[in-house]
Amino acid sequence: MNNKVFVGSISFNTTNQGLSDYFAQVGTVTSANVIMDKTTGRSKGFGFVEFSSDAEAQAAVDKLNNTELDGRTIFVDIARPSEKREGGNGGNRGGFNRDRNNY
């Protein structure tokens, strides 16, 4: 039960609206997001499209995988849940530097 698809190898020129419009040919798109790099503000070359049903998501995979969007052949597959990441504390391993903090 997954109504979201992963779209890879998209053009750096593809917008959220362009992605939504392209995938609307196979079903009702509820959201379309091109993933952007936080530092550069440029597309990372992939995105996600969410449909109103699982059947529409599967239709997108069946009909739009290996098709051309904005001059690039795209890869479309059912999105997998993201894996939980470890850490997230900016490299701090939980301790502190006694010398630096003058303790």
3-state secondary structure 64-102: HCCCEECCEECEEEECCCCCCCCCCCCCCCCCCCCCCCC
Question: Angle formed by the axes of helices 54-64 and 16-23, to 10°?
Answer: 90
CATH for 4-78, options being 3.30.70.330, 3.40.309.10, 2.40.50.180, 3.20.20.80: 3.30.70.330
Collapsing DSSP to helix, strand or coil, 4 comes out as strand
pTM for the whole structure? 0.79
Domain boundaries, the chain: 4-78
DSSP-assigned letter for residue 2 = -
What is the distance between the alpha carbons of residues 102 and 51, in angstroms, rounded to a whole number? 57
Q: What is the pLDDT along the chain (103 residues), one digit of tens a residue?
A: 689 999 999 999 999 999 999 999 999 999 999 999 999 999 999 999 999 999 999 999 999 999 999 999 999 999 998 887 776 555 555 555 555 555 4
Q: Which pLDDT does position 11 carry in this prediction?
A: 97
Dihedral (Cα; 90, 96, 98, 101), 10-degree rounding:
60
